Amino acid sequence: MTNYSPQIPIDKGGTPKQGYVPAKVALTRKASENAVVSSIWLLGHDTTELEMTVIGQATAVKWLTQAVVDSSVAGTSVLTAVATGNWDHVIPNGETRRFVVPVATVGYGQSVQGVNRAEGLYPAVAYKTFAGNGSVFTAEF
């Protein structure tokens, strides 16, 4: 398995700067303000990390495979996740979390589509606030 996620910064003395995020500008950003329904975010072909900030409500997060995205159940997968406990992560209200996109399938090797597909990473993520309105701000890296 290759190390596909961005590295943390290293200082001039060669020491890794623990607690710092990688020195990389976001590929894209999404603001879902006052959301009450679930959202599905299709990740870009070069996305290997996500940073999510939630304000107003705790939020459930579920990684989605391409098969789930292509099916008719994609829209309900996270809606039911809150009720059934079928989520991968929970982000508490007022917190920011950074995730390395996990491997979903065998990758395509030297894919011309980008590192996300080449490494077989999850191509989508879904999220839903637990109760009532909440805002979710997401950035892809």
In a domain, 115, yes or no: yes
Residue 1 belongs to a domain: no
Tokens, residue 124: 């989508």
How confident is the model at residue 99, as a pLDDT? 95
DSSP code for 18: T
Task: Confirm whether 6 is domain-assigned.
Answer: no
Residues in the chain: 141
pLDDT at 79: 58
- pLDDT tens-place string over residues 7-25: 889 999 999 999 888 888 9
| Residue 124 within a domain | yes
pLDDT value of residue 78: 56
Q: Is the pLDDT of residue 66 over 60?
A: yes
Please report how many Cα atoms fall inside a 13 Å half-sphere around the Cα of residue 87, on the Cβ side.
21
Return the top range by mean pLDDT from 36-40, 62-66, 81-85, 96-100: 96-100
- Inside any domain, residue 4: no
Domain at 65, CATH number? 2.60.120
**pLDDT > 90: what percent of the chain?**
43
Whether residue 36 is contained in a domain is answered as: yes
pTM over 0.85: no
* 57 falls within a domain: yes
Which pLDDT value is given to residue 15? 93
* Model confidence at 124: pLDDT above 80: yes
pLDDT reading at 140 higher than 90: yes
The total domain count for the chain is 1
Range of the domain at 50: 28-140
With H, G, I as helix, E, B as strand and everything else as coil, classify residue 69. helix
